[in-house]
Amino acid sequence: MFKAPYLLFLGDAPDRLAAKMAQGIYDWRPESAVGQFRMKDCNVDLGITDLSIQDAVAAGAKTLVIGIVNRGGVISESWKSVLIEALEAGMDIASGLHNLLRDEPDLVAAAEKAGQKLYDVRVPSIQYPIANGKKRSGKRCLAVGTDCSVGKMYTTLSMHREMKKCGMNATFRATGQTGILIEGDGVPLDAVIADFMAGSIEWLTPDNAEDHWDLIEGQGSLFHASYSGVTTALIHGGQPDALILCHEPTREHMRGLPEYQLPPLEALRDLSLRMATIVNPDCKVIGISINTQHMEEAEAMAYLNKVEKEMGLPTIDPFRQGPSRLIEALTCV
Amino acid sequence: MFKAPYLLFLGDAPDRLAAKMAQGIYDWRPESAVGQFRMKDCNVDLGITDLSIQDAVAAGAKTLVIGIVNRGGVISESWKSVLIEALEAGMDIASGLHNLLRDEPDLVAAAEKAGQKLYDVRVPSIQYPIANGKKRSGKRCLAVGTDCSVGKMYTTLSMHREMKKCGMNATFRATGQTGILIEGDGVPLDAVIADFMAGSIEWLTPDNAEDHWDLIEGQGSLFHASYSGVTTALIHGGQPDALILCHEPTREHMRGLPEYQLPPLEALRDLSLRMATIVNPDCKVIGISINTQHMEEAEAMAYLNKVEKEMGLPTIDPFRQGPSRLIEALTCV
């Protein structure tokens, strides 16, 4: 979609949380970031070179990526002069903010004049097809969760990185705005029109080499009343050969739904597999990824061991331990 | 949404199939149709009064409903003078065509000048909320199918009509364009943005009297790779207390998916109930509606008896037999 390498724009980010988009890109694609641009009241430092717009272009930057999320997701007026300078200097701009670049007339005019592009990754840029359900070549792995935001993206990104390191043939397939900003491409599934959801995922994960794996970023949860339709479309459009179950064990209720408890991993396994086998009878659940960030090391290890014994599947925290055991399991599919 | 009663516009419909929207409205809401408007080359007659635009207005018509679907779903230039006359005479216009009324500058101008409204029922007219999953008062019944177009809308419409006849408290909740044209209101679910699908159905089926039933029109199928996400959102947004299984026994493969067989009714029962109990643990499958239009009477009756015995649930064809046994089953929920 948009071109690497990037200049990561941190603007006037007050803290690390506000700069989490930039941090995500730098964590997962350090080779794509030529440097950072910080305005004078920025309180965050990613630890890479500070570059002016002109220096960034000289260093080869093709796209300025807005790596800051402020309250309300708006494009601050104070950023405008920098953004316009970047367009004039020959960079495109990419953003995942609610406030779309295309809705800012001054940016649209500057981009047009400079012959540069504005990429709003939060909204679909193409008309996706309706899914046809046909079997595609190559292999696909999808992360599914007991809830939203339990580590599905982290799991697939870490698997992808490790697979590339081992020389395996794999692609990370982003389905949400952070993932798209990291990968530079993908489908903003939550913004796709209902009829085209599964088709957009078929489009995202086309025929491929027999040894190729798509690592598909999960969204929502089959058990989450607000977003389960999105998850279903992801399973049926993605036609996974392998499923990874993702879970965050300290959460007290489903995200945003105080009346709902998280389902047990057994329930996630059974329902996800039931849905997946409708489109791929050979699909298997191959492992479990647990987000233990709110547990002490000893507690986390004990929990991982307990789940592994109960479920009979490789169970790891990819942040603590790396994803190697999931990849081993994948190679047996 | 749009106001009854209607003048049913048949335009230059070459045959009954082209006029099926008008036919649907007249079949299910005869009291809403003051008459039909046929252009001189129209080959269809619904059997109601032919009215001029002026006579229709005099008879109280508030909305001209485009009841014809031509090839490509376009608004024919030859209709324009009639449509503009209707606007000038004080009627609104409602349409379910792909070609939106709002995309025709001459209609937009005429509507504005006359102070009348254009209703494109194929696209959402409001910003739906994100679903919150909260329990609502009143009861809800949803039709789910082994495939698309197996009679889900017919089933809920016929149940609704029968319930009203018996003095029961019930509302038909349309989720597709034909249903919306019939009811005059509803959610065009296949055109809703992914994140808001379940929320749109919560909005459509709000808190209600304890004895009130929403009869929710089904869409797609959990087993249909293209549309299963829409069906999931409908189940989780609708929070049904009762499910009706719908099936068409002569179909050779899933609609539009030649590689896929229809699932057995047992599979539909189990998966639909599993999904529904996530949001309503008390949900029950209460009956089965079979579309036997492609079977002879004796064959149909034998099939219905066989399914009833195998599944242990009231099994009927609402077209042949009426829906009374489904409504009896509903009153036990």
Domain co-membership, A101 together with A148: no
Q: Are residues B78 and B155 in the same domain?
A: no
Is the Cβ–Cβ distance between B222 and B272 less than 8 Å? yes
Q: From CA B56, how far away is CA B93, in angstroms rounded?
A: 13
- Do A256 and B132 make contact, defined as CB atoms within 8 angstroms? yes
Does residue A231 share a domain with residue A109?
Answer: no
- The 10s digit of each residue's pLDDT in B309-327 is 999 999 999 999 999 999 9
Decide if A86 is inside a domain. Answer: yes
Cα–Cα distance for residue pair A162/A246, rounded to 1 Å: 18
CB of A280 less than 8 A from some CB of B: no
Search chain B and give the residue with CA nearest A123. Answer: B193
- Tell me how far apart the alpha carbons of residues B10 and A314 are, in angstroms, rounded to a whole number: 63
H-state helical runs in chain B: 20-28, 53-58, 80-88, 105-114, 152-165, 177-183, 197-204, 228-238, 265-279, 297-311, 318-321, 324-331
- Residues A32 and A4: beta-carbon distance below 8 Å: yes
pLDDT band at A71, cuts 50/70/90? confident
Using a CB-CB distance cutoff of 8 angstroms, which residues of chain B are in contact with residue A237? 225
In a domain, B304, yes or no: yes
Check A232 against B232: CB less than 8 A apart. Answer: yes
Q: Are residues B304 and B157 in the same domain?
A: yes
pLDDT at A125 over 90: no
For residue B280, give the 3-state DSSP assignment: coil
If asked whether residues B247 and B148 sit together in one domain, one would say yes
Chain B, window 83-122: residues with a beta carbon less than 8 angstroms from a chain A beta carbon: none
Q: How far apart are CA A108 and CA A187, in angstroms?
A: 23
Q: Up-side HSE of residue B248: CA atoms within 13 Å toward CB? A: 20
Is there a single domain that holds both residue A106 and residue A156? Answer: no
User: Domain count of chain B?
Assistant: 2
Q: Determine if the pTM surpasses 0.90.
A: yes
> Where does a domain end: A120, A153, A169?
A120
Q: Chain A within 8 Å of B189 (Cβ-Cβ)? A: yes
Region B50-72: mean pLDDT is: 95
Q: How far is CA A179 from the centre of its chain?
A: 2
Residues B143 and B86 in one domain: no
Q: What is the CATH number of the domain that holds B264?
A: 3.40.50.300
ipTM of predicted complex: 0.94
CA distance A283 to B309: 33
Assess B280–A contact: CB distance below 8 Å, yes or no.
no
In a domain, residue B113? The reply is yes
Task: Tell me whether residue B328 is in a domain.
Answer: yes
User: What is the distance between the alpha carbons of residues A26 and A21, in angstroms, rounded to a whole number?
Assistant: 9
pLDDT digits (tens, 9 = 90+) for A150-171: 999 999 999 999 999 999 999 9
How far does the CA of residue B135 sit from the closest CA of chain A (Å)? 9
- Cα gap B220→B229, rounded to integer Å: 9
Residue B333 has pLDDT above 90, yes or no: no
Q: Which residues of A touch B194 (CB under 8 A)?
A: 189-194, 197, 229-230, 233
Quick check: is A131 in a domain? no
For residue B59, the model assigns a pLDDT of: 97
Task: State the DSSP code for B196.
Answer: G
Identify whether A125 is part of a domain: no
- By DSSP bridging, strand A284-290 and strand A242-247 are parallel
Mutation site for B-interface testing, chosen from A228, A269, A270 by largest number of B Cβ within 10 Å: A228
Report yes or no on B132 lying in a domain. no
Name the domain boundary from B55, B87, B120: B120
Q: Tell me the CATH number at A77.
A: 3.40.50.720
Same domain? A144 vs A116:
no
Query: Is the peptide bond prior to A14 cis by the omega test (within 30 degrees of 0)?
Result: no
Tell whether B113 and B143 lie within a shared domain: no
- pLDDT value for A333: 84
Q: Residues A145, A56: one domain?
A: no
- Are A268 and A304 contained in the same domain? yes
Q: A–B: how many Cβ contacts below 8 A?
A: 135
Range of the domain at A254: 139-332
- The structure tokens 């009231």 sit at B314
Half-sphere exposure of B310 (CA within 13 A, CB side): 11
Nearest Cα residue in chain A from B200: A226
Residue type for position B270: D
Which residue in A199, A229, A259 is closest to B198 by CB distance? A229
**Within a domain: residue B133?**
no
Summarize pLDDT for A42-63 with one digit per residue, the tens: 999 999 999 999 999 999 999 9
Residues B302 and B157 in one domain: yes
Kindly report, residue by residue over B239-259, the tens digit of the pLDDT: 999 999 999 999 999 999 999
Query: Is pLDDT above 90 for A34?
Result: yes
CA end-to-end distance (rounded Å), chain B: 31
pLDDT confidence band for A73 (50 / 70 / 90) = confident
Name chain A contacts of B199, Cβ cutoff 8 Å: 226
